[in-house]
A = this chain, B = another copy of it.
Amino acid sequence: MQGIFQQLTPYLEKAMALTTALTLIEWDMETTAPEEAADATSSIIGLLSDEYFKTIMNDEVKQLLHKIVETEEYKQLTEVEQAIVTQLQKQYDEFEPVPQSEYKAYSELTAKSSGIWAKAKENNDFNEFAETLKEIIYYRKKFATYRQKKGQPLYEVLLHDFEPSFTMEQIDSFFALIKKELVPLIRQITSKNVVIDRSFNHRSYDIDLQREFCIWLSGYVGFDFERGVISEAEHPFTTNLHNRDVRYTNHYEENNLFNAIFSAIHETGHCIYEMNIDDEITQTIVGSGTSMAMHESQSRFYENMIGKSKEFWEGIYEKLQQQFKPVLNDITLEQFYLAINQSEPSLIRTEADELTYPLHILIRYEIEKKIITEDIDVYELPTIWNDLYEEYLGIRPQTDAEGILQDVHWSMGEFGYFPSYALGSAIASQLYHFMKQTIPFEQCLKTGEFEEMEQMLKEHIHKYGMVRNTNRMLKDMTGETFNASYYIEYLKEKYRKIYDL
């Protein structure tokens, strides 16, 4: 007799095929499609997304799920099958309680909201976006209420969409630690007035040479070109069809070398994660990175622990100089290392250095909590934003575009997402701490031998996809669940050395 789980297979397979098609269409729109294609192709995306929902959310699947969860069947499933059921159940929990009329109104809203945000940002005027944001907040809160468990903070419902294995209490303590430890450190650095020259980053670097170097660099740290593709788009991003088709984009600017180099290493970290997902799960709904933070931890690990270390550049700085000869002839390795790690409070999150970055996230975290748990007036947000920047980073945005309007996330209804960025860096630090005790880490950086690191990440994290959660994998690998102190320790040690504190 066929098990109940097996009866889900045709639905899951069809859903997976549709997801893959949608992923490819979106990749193509960002990298290849001609300008005028957008409208007609969007209608295709709409039709395929509808079909995806119908495939997963219907009475047959619902009944099968119910049978599996409510009977002995669940216990007899393999770990992978259980994870698939959990993941499917999560989609039901998220969408089922929302009345269709509300979901429709919300979809119509978010179909245009990013456009309104982009226009407002262009015009540097938050007021143009305020009413739209108010509506988005209204729906996000309302939808979260449907799923809220008794006694659960409403914001935690949203956090769990991205980090299901963290409680809000844990995240609160995480950001409290960041505030307590990093705000003073940053002040200390700022007040010391050390000048690190990074102006050479804005010299002229031929774009073809940048492309060539960055593609080489990706391969150097472990990008597998038989399973992956590197292309170009307005912004760097990673996407994957399955573990043998993983792609990232970069963006090259003549007068900014660091952007392209560190995007290349960062996105390669994301790609390596997806390339190492196990064959057994790659074409299932659990065949992708386990959480936003875990994904970001991999990209940050490659970007920062590997790519911004001195040892890494000891091995390849000459190659870099050679590539752009003679542009970097007068810059020593030491100068280069300091420049890529210079820390300075700035207004734009995506351009922030490793040390000030988590403060940008702290600010968003505090504001999101206010938005979700208090009935805050959206028109007050710009001032709250600016005040927090002044308080934590000592600088004050002068315009909405460089302040409250800088990120796209809220316009897409993504509340609860930002914390993952900081959690990712913290997880990366914990992995780093563990690896340094396990393998000759610095030696590997110098010689470019990254296989052992990757193998550890693959065996403990990558291959499981979403079958195991972040904390479980951290525990299995490092012996303890998430511990933010390694992050603080890492940043303190690194930046005290750089700024001679």
Query: Chain A residues in contact with chain B, CB under 8 A?
Result: 13-14, 16-18, 20-21, 24-25, 28, 32-37, 39-41, 43-44, 47-48, 51, 225-229, 231, 241-246, 282-283
Chain B residue at minimal CB-CB distance from A242 = B40
Chain B residue at minimal CB-CB distance from A31 = B32
Q: Is the CB of B226 within 8 A of A32?
A: no
Per DSSP, chain A at the interface is: helix
Task: Find chain B residues with CB under 8 A from A37 CB.
Answer: 227, 241-242, 244-245
User: What's the least CB distance linking A228 to chain B, in Å?
Assistant: 5
**Cross-chain pairs A/B with CB under 8 angstroms, 19 sampled:** A14-B51, A17-B47, A17-B51, A21-B21, A24-B28, A32-B32, A32-B229, A33-B229, A34-B229, A34-B244, A34-B246, A36-B227, A36-B244, A37-B227, A39-B244, A40-B241, A40-B245, A41-B245, A43-B283
Task: Find chain B residues with CB under 8 A from A51 CB.
Answer: 14, 17
Most chain-B Cβ atoms within 10 A of its Cβ — which of A16, A47, A282?
A47
Nearest first, the 8 closest Cβ-Cβ pairs linking A and B are A37-B245, A17-B47, A21-B21, A36-B244, A40-B242, A35-B226, A36-B226, A17-B44
How many angstroms from the CA of A18 to the CA of B245 in the assembled complex? Answer: 20
How many angstroms from the CA of A37 to the CA of B24 in the assembled complex? Answer: 13
Q: Is the CB of B14 within 8 A of A47?
A: yes
* Known A14-B51, A51-B14: A21·B36 in contact at CB below 8 Å: no
Q: Is the CB of B28 within 8 A of A44?
A: no
User: Contact partner of A32 among B25, B40, B231, CB < 8 A?
Assistant: B231
User: What's the least CB distance linking A93 to chain B, in Å?
Assistant: 26
User: What's the least CB distance linking A437 to chain B, in Å?
Assistant: 35
Q: Is the CB of A245 within 8 A of B47?
A: no
User: What's the least CB distance linking A21 to chain B, in Å?
Assistant: 4
Task: Find chain B residues with CB under 8 A from A227 CB.
Answer: 34, 36-37
Q: Is the CB of B33 within 8 A of A245?
A: yes
User: What's the least CB distance linking A347 to chain B, in Å?
Assistant: 35
User: Contact partner of A21 among B44, B229, B231, CB < 8 A?
Assistant: B44
Task: Find chain B residues with CB under 8 A from A241 CB.
Answer: 37, 40-41, 44
